[in-house]
Structure 1
């Protein structure tokens, strides 16, 4: 039927119910007052207002015709712009028509929008004050998952209303961002749409959630299950955090669990604990009734609570006002919307953001799977698909072409070897330590882990330093410093693979020169000035001065002989390293102060140049514990010579 005839036909259909009262708007949609809505076209612009009537002249017939005209405008906008998404005005217009109004039904058929179909729900529930006597049958038809009111379900509802209220508010606020994109995926895979509330109790719809069991993302996949269902996890990305890809994987996993276990309650329990345990419970007790199994031994407490928690979350989330929440409590987030671009090379996120005219945070929030400050290496044959804020792809493509090589970076991957320090790695690649910290989202790196991988930013023209060639690196350094990242002084770095505690164990020769003790130390592999200075309780600066070393000395040659003059003028002696019962104890200190205090407590005298951190590394304790045990409020004001207790009182 031609569009004009369709519009005329729809406009001529009378309303069988008149104008229905406007129900409460769903989460994230704010109702438009009837008189205001009538002035809005489908795309949100205001139409010319009609001439106002005298008070009392407005009739039901006029109201009905105005409502139908409003529906006509909404339908026109949607028909002429098939890409248009439902907006508040269109939703409000549909609500004003009765559920059986022929015009409403024909509009739904013409629009073919599943989103509108969800508006065919019963009116809001009245406030529920007596959970014990609440008739769950009142709401069962509002869900496509099974819901039962069990004592533990009621307990979780009360928890969400009380102690857990703060967290439930956050979950509800995020729900409007993810429900519109997750539910269609679940439905397309043959799952109930309300299965989405499993993601609510797993992570609160947080893409960055990470559990003690190393589960990640909104659906909380552990590594092995994520890989089994196609979620890539490598140096560059962790697709468990991608809300779209993870929802596809979760749908596939839950469908398999349901096929194996035969009931959604058992499938949810299997999602929490694994299908094997649930299947064995069914076989052992001869029932697939979850509530019966939950009373038996064999399921973990967390699993027994998992199903009632999910039901409670679904009940409250879809009926918040009935369960004591007000709409004012939720600051709903906007729906996740984005465009996609294909990148054929690893690209710095700062470059992406500048080219698209958005912030780096915007890019990161749309791409939570990225583990680095750049996209993964890619090719024209295998591009990386990046999400950008809606409507920015054209600007991004134009600006990306204009960037000069000096403004762009390429990347190398470095695997940390024993003896590496951050400053040495930066020098090797012609970059800066702060730039490495920033690209790898590290706050600091005094010690690197052997075999850890680092992404190294390198200027696209292959030259670091200053000027245009180093402009991109300089930008990285500035960003790092603004965000609080600090590069450790090279002399304070600990080479990767260095065991905890004092390890500067090279050959030592002790002699008296002009009445003073001089120690000659032979540098061995893995040594640093920091380690040597700490062994002999001297400062790094003194060590450099005694041996005419440059201030920015970065490396020590194997076999170099260093002169050390320990502070024996105060009665101190060279550090003596002992091992007692597997615990390293350093006797250095001042004469008369024992390294092991009363009742076996370890003590240490803070020497010049030492810090609480260096002491904590030596004795394998934390800085926080040292401060607590010694009543230290500020680690920067601890005086040289202070006697530190290194074990709890």
Structure 2
């Protein structure tokens, strides 16, 4: 028993000695770290510098697992630090606060967080607008190094005036001033280090580590060679000059006039998110590489206003949804939302003008922004019950929303959905109605024969069996919905000239949609090569005109209005490819119009509908 007690005492003593040893080592490391500060003291810093276990842990991280990332951020800092420090000095702030941008974004203009904070200083939308940053109309000044630094300087100045302490001000920059005020009340102290030591559950770990991480980053940045970063090659400071563009202009046009790459123009103008200068802005200032302003101005003056924009402009008509507009031009809903700075498809209004990113720098910018973009839930909440045969794409198109947003709203990790599943959709579209449609269906008439639906029947099987098209079959039986097509239901079928004459009417999403394009729907300032991006099936006439159009822009070009529906009877040996070539349409056009699988075999005698010019 005595031996057991002695053993326990020895274990306790051993743990205490180990703890004392670790504390001693940490103390030695902290003292060594303090000696590594520039000038062997903190006198070269214009902010308070405290070296403790948390700071040392972050220095160890940057030297170890985070070495590659920190080295990249440090290299990038050479480009921005001189300009940013000059702005901080102008506002009477410590210039070492510039390293907040290092831990916020790694000095990246395109940094974008899950909280939708953007740019070098990671402003969220509301705070950025409050401090004067323009966000919208193809511009996001959170990504501009000068404008965002001015906003950050004002914000940090306000926070320091509120808290009277730089550590608390930095913590508030991360968590928000209200959060830090409450943390001070809960923990009964205004000392940052005491507050995070006493706090148990209120502050996030990210906020507790924010100041230690900043101090560690600043210490290394001041003496990189002492911490293993002596071989970093710093980017050169930004050197540029300004020029003016008279009207909305594509960045690719600006690049050609300055005889530089479009990537360089985008790099110098990161706040232009749509790939163009803002719509409606006159004499807008753009940044150009040093020494190119005169060359640009001379070349730009010779470019007609109609050729300055390579993206299309679309004027929204009554009843149009963003889904229909996106489908018409062969782009995604997300790309249109992103390039126009819209938060939701329901934000479009009749008469408003949208940039359609079909080409040039606008397309490239739209793809990048859309990859990080999610439309927030807006508009009316609709609950849609998935029907047999429906897919994510079909449902998204019907409601004018994007597939990715539809997945996010419903917590879906893939496009897989099941029949009977209820989906949440935020849209102003009814979904089942197609506005401004000129689809045609046969009007009810006498005659024909009655058909009793059998078990296992579908629209396709019935149409095949009777040698008619699905479009006609549904048109003759308008009161019968897909869900009502069950054994015992009765259908009306017409054969060989019995069918009634077609009369225009409105239709539903379950019918084949033929959109009308009115004479007021024009493509403005569209270069000839932009026609290649229009869907072949809907604009074959325009594509055939392409060879006759010069490289100058096409002004006030009207889209073809009504499409014709042709009834074609399938012959032996016919394929969809042969039929599509004969009528100058796409295989997809025919398959969609007749609810066909493009790979399915065609039955001779079956009638299909072809929409052609």
Alignment TM-score, normalising by the size of structure 2: 0.55
1:455–1:334 CA distance, 2 compared to 1 (3 A): farther
Matched residue SS, 2:301: helix
The correspondence for 2:134, drawn from 232, 237, 241, is 232
Corresponding residue of 1:277: 179
Aligned residue for 2:225, secondary structure, equals coil
For residue 213 of structure 2, what is the aligned residue in structure 1?
Answer: 309
Cα shift at 1:336: 1.1
In 1, distance between residues paired with 2:362 and 2:181? 55
Instruction: Give the C-alpha shift of residue 278 in structure 1.
Output: 1.4
Which residue of 2 is the match for residue 456 of structure 1?
355
Q: Is it true that 1:294 corresponds to 2:193 in the alignment? A: no
Distance 1:497 1:264, change over 3 A: same
Q: What does 1:96-495 correspond to in 2, within 5 Å?
A: 131-134=29-32, 136=34, 138-297=40-199, 298-327=202-231, 330-380=232-282, 383-404=283-304, 407-409=307-309, 412=313, 414=315, 420=321, 433=330, 449-451=345-347, 455-456=354-355, 494-495=397-398
Q: CA deviation at 1:281?
A: 2.5
1:489-568 → structure 2 map (5 Å cutoff):
494-497=397-400, 519=470, 520-522=473-475, 524-527=507-510, 551=585
Contact persistence 2:250–2:361 (CA under 8 A): no
Cα displacement (A) at 1:392: 1.0
Deviation at 1:334, TM superposition (A): 1.1
Q: Do the aligned partners of residues 423 and 413 (structure 1) sit closer, same or farther apart at CA in structure 2, a change above 3 Å counting?
A: closer
CA distance change for structure 1 residues 280 and 566 in 2, over 3 Å: closer, same or farther? closer
Task: Pick closer, same or farther for the CA change 1:142–1:369 going to 2, 3 Å.
Answer: same
3-state SS of paired residue (1:294): helix
Q: What is the rounded CA distance, in whole Å, between the counterparts of 2:150 and 2:359 in structure 1?
A: 41
Q: Tell me how far apart the structure 2 counterparts of residues 283 and 312 of structure 1 sit (CA, whole Å).
A: 28
* Corresponding residue SS for 1:140: coil
Please give the secondary structure, in 1, of the residue aligned with 2:276: coil
Compared CA separation, residues 441 and 343, structure 1 to 2 (3 A): same
Structure 1 residue 188: Cα displacement:
0.7
**Cα distance 1:288–1:419, how it changes in 2: closer, same or farther (>3 A)?**
same
Contact 2:323 2:399 in 1 (8 A): no
**Aligned partners of 2:356, 2:593: CA distance in 1, in Å?**
35
The Cα of 1:201 is off from its aligned counterpart by 0.3
How big is the shift at 1:339? 0.9
CA contact (8 A) 1:236 1:375 kept: yes
The separation in 2 between residues aligned to 1:407 and 1:242, in whole angstroms, is 27
**More off after superposition, 397-406 vs 218-227:** 397-406
SS, match of residue 386 in structure 1: strand
Contact 2:137 2:279 in 1 (8 A): no
2:377 maps to none
TM-score scaled by length of structure 1: 0.52
The answer (yes or no) to whether the contact 1:159–1:165 under 8 Å persists in 2 is yes
Report the Cα offset of residue 129 of structure 1: 13
1:53-111 C-alpha deviation (Å, 9 max, x unpaired) = xxxxxxxxxxxxxxxxxxxxxxxxxxxxxxxxxxxxxxxxxxxxxxxxxxxxxxxxxxx
- Paired residues of 2:78 and 2:237 also in contact (CA < 8 A): yes
Q: Distance in 2 between matches of 1:514 and 1:339?
A: 69
Partners of 1:385 and 1:273 lie apart in 2 by: 35
- Listed one character per residue, the Cα deviations across residues 10-55 of structure 1 (whole Å, up to 9, x for unaligned) are xxxxxxxxxxxxxxxxxxxxxxxxxxxxxxxxxxxxxxxxxxxxxx
3-state SS of the aligned residue for 1:342? strand
Deviations 1:513-560 (A, max 9, x none): 7955865224833457599xxxxxxxxx969979x986259999xxxx
Give 1:299 shift. Answer: 1.8
CA distance in 1, matches of 2:452, 2:219: 77
State the 1:283 CA deviation: 3.3
SS of 1:322's partner is: helix
Cα pair distance change 1:152/1:397, threshold 3 Å: same
Q: 1:357 to 1:418 in 2, by over 3 A?
A: same
Distance 1:369 1:474 in 2: 19
Q: Distance in 1 between matches of 2:354 and 2:464?
A: 52
How far 1:385 sits from its partner (Å)?
1.6
The runs of 5 or more residues in structure 1 that have no matched partner are 1-127, 443-447, 459-472, 532-540, 571-649
Could you tell me how far apart the structure 2 residues matched to 1:177 and 1:153 are?
A: 26
Q: CA deviation at 1:496?
A: 4.9
Count of matched residue pairs: 396
Partner SS, residue 224 of structure 2: coil
Deviations 1:602-622 (A, max 9, x none): xxxxxxxxxxxxxxxxxxxxx
- Closer, same or farther in 2 for the Cα pair 1:418/1:290, shift >3 Å? farther
Post-superposition shift, 1:423? 7.8
1:505 deviates by 11
Match of 2:556 in 1: none
Alignment check: 8 A CA contact 1:157 1:313 kept = yes
**CA–CA separation in structure 2 for the residues paired with 1:245 and 1:209:** 16
Report the Cα distance in structure 2 between the residues aligned to 1:526 and 1:544, rounded to whole angstroms: 28
Q: Which has the higher contact order (CA 8 A, sep 6+)?
A: 2
Contact 1:346 1:374 survives alignment (8 Å): yes
